Each structure stands twice: as C-alpha cells, then as structure tokens.
Amino acid sequence: MKPTATFLSLALISLATFQTTLSSHSSPLTTLFLTLFALSLNYWLLPGGFAWRNYYYPKLSEKLIGPMGWPILGVLPYMGSLAHAKLAALATSLKAKRLMALSLGATPVVISSHPETAREILYGSSFSDRPIKESAQALMFERAIGFAPSGTYWRHLRRIASFHMFSPRRIQSLESLRQRVVDEMVKRTWNEVEEKGVVEVRGIFQEGSLCNILESVFGNTDKREELGDMVKEGYGLIAEFNLEDYFPLKFLDFYGVKRRCHKLAGKVSSVVGQIVEERKREGEFIGKNDFLSTLLSLPKEESLDDSDMLPILWEMIFRGTDTVAILLEWIMARMVLHQDIQMKARQEIDMCIGQNSHVRDSDIPNLPFLQAIVKEVLRLHPPGPLLSWARLAVHDVHVDKVLVPAGTTAMVNMWAISHDSTIWEDPWTFKPERFLKEDVSIMGSDLRLAPFGAGRRVCPGRALGLATVHLWLAQLLHRFIWLPAQQVDLSECLRLSLEMKTPLRCIVVPR
C-alpha cells in the first residue's frame, strides 16, 4: 500500500535526496543503513502504522485514519497505565473518534471512541470472538465463558450461566451471603479504626469480595488463602507485558510469562480439582446454593466434564474478586471527596429504612440516588476501559464504511466515550444527579455507558455484581460517616482493571 498523505511522499523524497548527498561523503555501511531505513518507511509511514502495511482499499471504502506510531512497535509505547486516556487523546487529535486504526506491534487494531461504531462492533456478528493473550490461554481461560470461541460450546456455557448461575432467582438466593459478608466488613473496618486510627479500604474490600465469591462458587472459604494468592499471581501475569501477544514469536517465552502461567494453571487445576472431587464424593448436590453444586446437578444432556468445569469455576473466582472491590474503592473515594453527596445518599437510606434496620436487596429500587452514584462512578472510572472490550473480526467486515480485515482486533474505548463532552454535559464533573434527570441503562443497551460490555459477549455476571455493590455501599454508608485520612489521589492505573493508583485511606465515624 502507498502512503496517501502528501507530506509522507515529500518525506520520502527528501530522505532519498539526503541519502544520495550523504552517500558520496560517507562509508558504504552508512549508505546501506540509509537505504534500508528509506525502504522501511513504506511499511511504517502509513495510516495505522506497521501492522497495516498490507492493507488494501476496496471500492467505496473510506480511508483509514490512525497514527503511524513507532517503527515495528506501532503504539505499544502508549499501552501503559494510562493507555485509555492516551488513545482517547490520540483519537480526538486525529478526528478519528468513530474509528481509528493502529498497530500494536504486528497486530492490526481498530478502536472505537463513539457509541455508534461501538454498537457496530459489540453487537456485530462479525466480531463474535475475542482475541486471547498467551497468558490468558495458558491460564485455561480459553475454555471459560469470557474467551471461549463462538460456537456450540460457548453458547452452551452462556445458557448455563444465564439459567443456572446468574438468574434473578439465584441472585436473590445469595442475599443472605452478601449480608453476612458486609457485616464482617463493617466489623473489620471498625477494628482497623480502633487499632490504627485509619482504614485502608482496598484490603477490606478485596477480602470481602474474595470471601463472597468463594462461598458463592464453592459454598465455603476453606481454601481462601491459597486461592487468594493464586488470584493475585494471575492478575500480575495477565497484566505483564509480553512480546508474544503482539508479534509472531510463539516459539520464544520472553520474560518467562508462559512458563509461569502454566505453573500457576497446574496449581489451579490441583486445588480446584481437589475441591470438585471432594464435592462429588459427598454427593447430594440438589438443594445446595453454590455454583459448583449447581454445575454438578445439571441434567446429563447439559452437564460438563471436569476439563470444562475447572476453567469456568476458576474464571468466576478470578474475575469476580477484583471487579466489586475496585468499584467500591472508587465509590468511597468519591464519597470522601464529596461530603454533600455522601450526606444526601445517607439521608435517602435513612428515609427508606430507618436508623436501625438493615438494608435489603428489596430496598435498592427505592434508593435512586444511591444507584445514580454507582452509575456516575462507572461513567468516570469504567472498570474495563479497553482490554475487557477486545473483539476479533472473524471475517472481513465494514465498520462505518471502513473495511476491517479478518483477524483484526477491535476495541471500544468506553473511557473515551464516557468522558466525551459532545455526549455528556460537564463530563469531568462528578454529578450523580445527571442520572436522576435521565435514566440511562448500564446493562449494555445504551452504548453511551456500557461498563459491563454489550451484545453477545456482555458480562453474564453484571446483575450479580451490581446487586453486591448496591447492597454493600448502602450498608457502609448507613453504618459509618466516611472522611479523608489524607488528600485523596484520583490518579488511575490501568492493569487488568482500572484501579486507583494510590490506595484510599479513610477515617470512619460510626453512626
């Protein structure tokens, strides 16, 4: 493909002239270097960069827009802890919010920062699969709901999740567990205040989330410490940069990521497999409320063998632990910063349930301001702004009149959409009231704010996660007044999820 921009042609001509002039006064080695460099520009100085070097424009297709990036690397240097913000700024500067092409090494990528093209990607049948990193594949996630290829097996998993694991009836049946866990979180919060004078909420929320998900999955927390350590190790491995994810270098294990992932997967198989075998020996699955018993009690035509069951259980523990904890930390940071909003939420809770009662799931629909707070935090700090949104084009397809070739990774930058001033009034301001004026769904139907995804790959556990966050937040606000222990730092750090860079520390006053 030839560069289309005039300045690129001029750059090539100027470089060739410079090469000719310099070659008469320099060594053959210098001349060779300049010649190779000039030739490399044909694979680099083009819209989207190196990975789009073989792209062709069919008739009636619009032109690609995107940064050239670095030679060979493309925009990989951008993909750090602030990748979501840097790519949003890049799309704005290039006027490519609707669709921007870029290179992550040798991997061609398109990214949408607009609700309309986001809908085309997330709801389009052409993007039915997800690209899977080497680390995620080694950790068995290719056989789990999130990354399994679209097809009969994946549809079977989704059906099991929808009807047996995340149904409204199942979520309701787990309320007593959520109540018990938040009561323990309240006790631990007050114990930390008495011992240290301040509370670092991240540890409390992570511990509560881990206990909640382990008891939901297995019916107990017997392996809590062991599984918790494996979850932390897995987060670190998946978040670690690995050249194999962006270049065809599968025969090399740079940084030992694949080796460490296989080792961790072996430990997961051993521990989770032991739990499954013990449960099988116990028998009597029917009537128990945990997910493992549910899977073991499925009718024969729906049942899964152990090789499929282990990745599903591991995925639920892995993904179910961090999402709730991270979201709650962001919410409490906003509550500490905005005392007026915290007080208003507490008054709403008091009016709904009174001073001495426990908040219940059935109270949440009567707490619209509390729900608006959660929505506004999800707008400002979406948990998976980029990587959780990745899709893979299974065949050639047009998005917004631009041809996207098969094998292209497609992303949606939800952070960019939720901070767009053409979509949201005062997008950088924390204003939960905006969701009282307009009831915006966050379950995937409105692409202005879809923090859990949308379309066929939408997060199956989103309703359970929201039920947990709403109940725990209401209880924590009902029991304590939350004050800052130090200046609140809202700096973001994108790892597997969008986390607070600096852990939140609070002073709490019991009510």
What are 354's two structure tokens? 């009174």
For 443, counting Cβ atoms within 10 Å of its Cβ (0-12 exposed, 13-18 middle, 19+ buried), the class is middle
What are 482's two structure tokens? 């939350």
**How far does CA 413 lie from the centroid of its chain?**
11
Identify the DSSP state of 62: P
What is the H or E stretch that residue 412 is in? strand 409-412
Q: How far apart are CA 284 and CA 271, in angstroms?
A: 21
Cross-strand pairs, 199: 506
Is 459 annotated to bind a ligand? Reply is yes
User: Residues 284, 289, 294, CA angle at the centre, nearest 5°?
Assistant: 65
For 440, counting Cβ atoms within 10 Å of its Cβ (0-12 exposed, 13-18 middle, 19+ buried), the class is middle
**What secondary structure does DSSP assign to 308-358, as a single string?**
HHHHHHHHHHHHHHHHHHHHHHHHHHHHHH-HHHHHHHHHHHHHHH-SSSP
Contact 145, 453 (CB under 8 A): no
E strands of 142-245, at which residues? 199-200
Rg (CA), the chain: 25
Contact 417, 113 (CB under 8 A): yes
Q: How far apart are CA 231 and CA 9, in angstroms?
A: 51
Cross-strand pairs, 498: 494
Residues at the binding site are 459
Which residues are documented as binding site for heme?
459
